[in-house]
A and B are shown apart, each in its own frame.
Chain A
Amino acid sequence: MYGFHGRLLHVDLDAGASAWCALAEERLRSFLGGTGLGTSLLHDYAPRGVDPLSPANPLIFTSAPLVGTGLTTTAKFGVVTKSPLTGFIGDSLSSSHFALELKRAGLDAIVITGRAAATVYLLIDHRHVEIRKAEHLRGKSPKETEAAIISELGSAAVRVASIGAAGESRVRFATISNEGRHAGRGGAGAVMGSKNLKAVAVCGDRDTRVYDPDGVKLTANALRRRSLGSLTDKYRTIGTIANLAVFNRLGVLPARNFQRSTFDYAEALSGETLTESSFAERHGCASCSIRCERLFKSLSGEAQRLEYETLFALGPLCGLQKPDAVIEAARLCDLYGMDTISTGGTLAWAMECHEKELLPEAEQFGLRFSRPEGVLAVIPAIAARSGIGDLLADGSRRAALEIGHDSSDWAMHVKGLELPGYEPRGLKTMALGLAVSPRGACHNRSGAYEADFSGEVDRLSTDSRRGALVAASEDFSAVLDSLIVCKFLRKCFTDFYDEAANLLNKVAGWDFSAADLRRVGERILISKRLFNEREGWQPADDWLPPRLLGEALPTGVARGVTLTGGELSEMIGQYYQARGLDENGFVPARKLRELGLPSHRPMGDDDEK
Chain B
Amino acid sequence: MDSQTVTDRVHCVVELFGVARLLTKTKTVPLELPEGTTLSCLVSVLAERWPILVGRVIGRDKTSLVSGCACNVNGREFVRDPGTQIRTGDNVLILPADAGG
Q: Which A residues lie at the B interface, using CB under 8 A?
A: 229-235, 237-238, 240-243, 245-247, 249-251, 271-272, 275-276, 307-309, 312, 420-422, 443, 447, 449-450, 453-455, 459-460, 487-488, 491, 556-558
Contacts and interface: CB of A to CB of B under 8 A. Distances in A.
B22 A230 contact: no
B100 A487 contact: yes
Given A230-B56, A249-B17, A453-B78, A272 B22 contact: yes
Interface in B61-86: 66-70, 72, 74-80
Given A422-B99, A454-B78, 10 more contacts: A234-B18, A245-B21, A246-B93, A246-B95, A272-B22, A276-B22, A447-B100, A455-B77, A459-B78, A487-B100
B75 A233 contact: no
Contacts, number: 99
A382 B14 CA distance: 45
Contact of B98 (A234, A237, A557, A558): A234
B34 interface: no
B19 interface: yes
B101 A238 contact: no
Max chain A C-beta neighbours (<10 A), residue from B67, B78, B95, B98: B98
A122 to B, nearest CB: 32
Interface in B31-62: 56
A242 B68 contact: no
B68 A233 contact: yes
B101 A557 contact: no
Max chain A C-beta neighbours (<10 A), residue from B69, B74, B101: B101
11 contacts: A230-B66, A233-B66, A237-B18, A240-B101, A242-B17, A275-B22, A312-B101, A449-B99, A453-B78, A454-B80, A455-B79
B19 A233 contact: yes
Contacts of B99: 243, 246-247, 422, 449-450, 453
B76 to A, nearest CB: 6
B38 to A, nearest CB: 16
Nearest to B21: A272
A588 B8 CA distance: 63
A455 B70 CA distance: 10
B90 to A, nearest CB: 13
A246 B68 contact: no
Nearest to A421: B101
Contacts of B95: 246, 249
A86 B70 CA distance: 36
A234 B97 CA distance: 9
A421 B74 CA distance: 21
A272 B18 contact: yes
Given A242-B96, A250-B75, A229 B18 contact: no
B18 A240 contact: no
Contacts of A242: 17-18, 96
A238 B56 contact: no
Contacts of B80: 454-455
Contacts of A491: 67, 98
Given A234-B19, A245-B17, A308 B101 contact: yes
B14 to A, nearest CB: 13
A231 to B, nearest CB: 5
A240 B96 CA distance: 10
A233 B18 CA distance: 9
B68 A234 contact: yes
Contacts of A240: 100-101
B91 to A, nearest CB: 9
Contacts of B96: 233-234, 242, 246
Contacts of A449: 99
A573 B90 CA distance: 37
Nearest to B69: A230
B98 A249 contact: no
Q: What are the 8 tightest A-B residue pairs by CB atom distance, in nearest-first order?
A: A455-B78, A230-B68, A308-B101, A557-B75, A230-B66, A234-B96, A240-B101, A453-B99
Nearest to B16: A272
B11 to A, nearest CB: 19
A143 B78 CA distance: 43
Contact of A243 (B66, B68, B72, B101): B101
Contacts of B74: 557
Contacts of A422: 99
Contact of A453 (B18, B19, B70, B79): B70
B83 to A, nearest CB: 14
Contacts of B75: 249-251, 556-558
A557 B76 contact: yes
Contacts of A275: 22
B22 to A, nearest CB: 6
Nearest to B100: A487
A454 B96 CA distance: 11
B15 to A, nearest CB: 7
A239 to B, nearest CB: 9
Contacts of A443: 101
Nearest to B99: A453
A238 B18 contact: yes
A231 B67 contact: yes
B66 A271 contact: no
A237 B101 contact: no
Nearest to B22: A272
A229 B99 CA distance: 16
Nearest to A250: B75
Contact of A246 (B18, B67, B79): B18
A200 B1 CA distance: 75
A248 to B, nearest CB: 10
A465 B80 CA distance: 20
Contacts of A231: 67-68, 97-98
Nearest to B79: A455
